Homo-oligomer: A and B are copies of this chain.
Amino acid sequence: MTDTCIRDCHALVPDASGSLTIARNQDILVRGGRIAELRPTGGPLEAGVTVLEGQRMLAMPGLINTHAHVPMVLFRGLAEDVPIERWFNEFIWPLESNLTEADVYWGAQLGLLEMIEGGVTTVADHYFHMDRVAQAVEEAGTRAHLGWAVFGSNGYKVLAETAAFAERWRGGAGGRITTCMAPHAPYTCDDGFLRASAGHANRLGIGIHIHAAEEMNQTNASLEKRGLTPIQVLKDTGVLGVPTLIAHGCGLLPQDIELLEKHRASVGIAHAPKTYLKLAMGMTPIRALRKAGIAVGLATDGAVSNNTLDIFESLRLMTMMQKHEAMDPEVLPIPEALDIATRGSAAALGMGDRIGKLAPGYQADLILVDTRGAHWQPPHNLAAGLVYSARASDVHTVMVEGRVLMRERRHLTLDKERILNEVASTMERMARRVPESRIQSYKP
């Protein structure tokens, strides 16, 4: 791979105090898949570098989706305006009984296509038939943190098989794939199963990606049934003893945050506000989590609840909802919102030393956002533009480890036409619901 210079872009970088700001008219030199240098534009170029023109583009770290079920794009729009119990029992879990391995592969390709178009370079995916997701990621050229979802009812043998997946793909796709254990949730996995999950994770030196305290009703049900919150269950079963990525935390109590604070070096919270609004799940207490030093990252969840895999949308909703809930427009100002979207998300995945920042030594996972649209004019405040005006469709160029995956919105790794055709061909079959064949029951 040749070295690349992104010339004369604006760049989202930390200032001297660490706060994110826009450095105007920068060159970004990429060498060996990493960022080598950021410098004011206008100097001489190194011999042999490939130049990517960046005028009126805003360079920022590639977006990170800290919790998704990517292949669920196949079911987009099939479960609308229903409460969470019906959403699971009458829609999602019956629908998922339709899935074949091939469906998961094409669903993953479609989701990756949508995410690349929206500037997402890393996704933490939590789903089934994960070898096929890993294959799709390898082909797409993105980065991913993959866990094979299992329920307690699947049994310990399946848990061992998903541990084998984690071992098989750890470091896959030239190091772009990391893996984890992915027990579904405390309300679908008994304590022994969670303990066994933590055991596999410990043995392999990896983490756990799990749903917990998704909404307050779950927390209350857990307290009623056993006198413990879902987070206390994670503690007691050893899950918090390994690096843990928790979705979604709308049901966190103050004592849960105290508990998580003790594990803050290795705990992250994935926040998917669009799903919470659509399903009326409440909202993650982001300010309290941040105050306790716990990493919070942005997420989209699956497209059956979230409809899109758009992290710009998650960023905007997170920021606005925190102001609304606090009844204070000064809460979560723009630099902090951008911090969560970049360094926060990277830290939530335990990758804060490698991605989420435009700085020498970091992976060259970055995007160029086109600021030439009418909705960006006049460009008084590009940072505000990123939070409040940017659309996924403004993403112009996407790079992962120095390799360009999309340029001028043309895909260089994925075959868009083929993917859309393959997905269209299974559309009718995907929409069939057989309630009796549901893969699981929701009863927290």
Contacts and interface: CB of A to CB of B under 8 A. Distances in A.
Contacts of A391: 391-393
B308 A277 contact: no
A424 B377 contact: yes
A374 interface: yes
B374 A420 contact: yes
Contact of A81 (B77, B321, B330, B372): B330
Given A334-B80, A384-B80, A389-B307, A374 B416 contact: yes
A7 interface: no
A77 B374 contact: no
B280 A380 contact: no
A380 B76 contact: yes
B380 A427 contact: yes
A55 to B, nearest CB: 14
Contacts of A307: 384-385, 388-389
Which of A76, A77, A333 has the most B CB atoms < 10 Å from its CB?
A77
A389 B329 contact: no
A262 interface: no
A73 interface: yes
Interface in A317-363: 320-321, 323-324, 326-331, 333-334
A88 interface: no
Contact of A110 (B328, B374, B420): B374
Given A320-B277, A326-B280, A374-B110, A380 B78 contact: yes
Interface string A379-423: 111101100110111000000000000000000000010011001
A278 B331 CA distance: 10
A81 B377 CA distance: 19
A117 interface: yes
B377 A277 contact: no
Question: Interface residue tally of chain A, by bracket?
Answer: 35 or more
Given A380-B427, A420-B377, A430-B378, A76 B280 contact: no
A279 interface: yes
Contact of A423 (B276, B377, B419): B377
Given A277-B323, A280-B326, A76 B377 contact: yes
A365 interface: no
Contacts of A74: 378
Given A110-B374, A114-B374, A391-B393, A328 B280 contact: yes
Contacts of A310: 375
A72 to B, nearest CB: 12
Copies of this chain, tallied across the complex: 2
A326 B431 CA distance: 29
A84 interface: yes
Contacts of A308: 375, 388-389
A268 to B, nearest CB: 24
A333 B117 contact: no
Contacts of A309: 375
B329 A377 contact: no
A277 B110 contact: no
Nearest to A118: B375
Nearest to A78: B380
A274 interface: yes
A82 interface: yes
A75 interface: yes
Nearest to A321: B277
Which of A320, A379, A431 has the most B CB atoms < 10 Å from its CB?
A320
Nearest to A393: B393
A319 to B, nearest CB: 8
Given A82-B329, A282-B327, A377-B420, 7 more contacts: A76-B389, A77-B380, A78-B380, A81-B333, A82-B330, A84-B329, A374-B419
Closest 5 pairs between A and B when the two form their complex, measured CB to CB: A77-B381, A277-B320, A307-B388, A393-B393, A77-B384
6 contacts: A76-B381, A81-B329, A282-B327, A283-B324, A377-B420, A377-B423
